[in-house]
Amino acid sequence: MSEFGIDVAVISNASLISEPEVREDLGKADWVSLKVDAVSEPIWHRVNRPAGTLQLEDILSGIEVFAAQFDGTLATETMLIDGINDDADEIRKVASFLGTVSPDESYIAVPTRPPAEDWANPASEEKINRAYREFNKHVDDVEYLLGYEGNQFSSTGNFQEDLLSITAVHPMREEGVQELLRKTGSERELVDELIAEGKLVKNEFEDSVYYMRKLEEN
């Protein structure tokens, strides 16, 4: 609990994290989330459209310094934009940077509300899944922020509801789906129904089959 007598959470775009006084004030919070949408200068400018005086190198260095000093829970959020920061090379670079920061939680997000620009569309489910796997190589706790709500961490007894809730937070391997089917006494046809209805997406990554929640249309 912070010096204010209550738990304090701060969600920041990290634009001023290079300033020592900002890091000092932010360090008083209990939970802090920092945006890391890109680590390459041109891509960062395209996604975040920073003010002219801001420098990406300073921001990334400030995040590293803050992470080393912060005693609370540190989270990061990376929003993936179709065709902008979702290519394999930039994802690897972001994941590698997060590995140096070692956040307690790392979230992969997509636009879930009408964006300022028409071209700011969510990355595909395949690329989101690829990012999840890459982030998992460097960060212990990776989850999605896809705009879905639900009781994703406990069983409702309804296989389809449980599967959609789980896959809205992270991809589920074929083996996990089979185990959920077994535990709930459900039939495989329920999975096929969700795919046919456009609610669930099946894709492959590194010779494994994964399922994730279909993104909502804006």
Total domain count, the chain: 2
Q: Does 197 share its domain with 99? A: no
* Contact between 94 and 80 (Cβ < 8 Å): no
Domain-embedded: residue 160: no
Q: Say if CB 108 and CB 144 are below 8 A apart.
A: yes
Per-residue confidence band for 55, with pLDDT thresholds at 50, 70 and 90 = very high
Cβ–Cβ under 8 Å, residues 36 and 78: yes
- Residues of the chain above pLDDT 70, percent: 89
Instruction: Give the dihedral sign, CA 216/82/114/50.
Output: positive
> Which of 34-38, 52-56, 205-209 has the least mean pLDDT?
205-209
For the purposes of burial, counting CB atoms within 10 Å of the CB of 126, is it exposed (0-12), middle (13-18) or buried (19 or more)? middle
Give yes or no: residues 90 and 188 share one domain: no
Please tell me whether residues 41 and 130 are part of one structural domain: yes
Quickly state the pLDDT bin for 217 (edges 50, 70, 90). low
pLDDT at residue 184, as a whole number: 85
Q: Average pLDDT for residues 58-85, to the nearest whole number? A: 97
Cβ contacts of residue 52 below 8 Å, gap of 6+? none
Residue 167: pLDDT above 50?
Answer: yes
Name the average pLDDT for the chain: 88
Whether residue 187 sits in one domain with residue 85: no
Closest CA to 83 of 55, 110, 53, 114: 110
Percent of the chain with pLDDT over 90: 62
Q: Tell me: do 121 and 43 sit in the same domain.
A: yes
Range of the domain at 127: 9-147
What is the arithmetic mean of pLDDT over 36-52?
94
**pLDDT tens profile 106-157:** 999 998 665 667 788 899 999 999 999 999 999 999 998 875 444 343 567 7
Q: What pLDDT, on a 0 to 100 scale, did the predictor assign at position 213? A: 87
pLDDT of residue 166: 84
Same domain membership, residue 116 and residue 198: no
Confidence (pLDDT) at 100:
97
pLDDT per residue as tens digits for the range 78-112: 999 999 999 999 999 999 999 999 999 999 999 86
Q: Taking the chain, what is the end-to-end CA distance rounded to the nearest angstrom? A: 38
Is 36 among the domain residues? yes
Q: Is the CB of residue 93 less than 8 Å from the CB of residue 37?
A: no
Does 179 share its domain with 133?
A: no
- Longest CA pairwise span in the chain (Å): 59
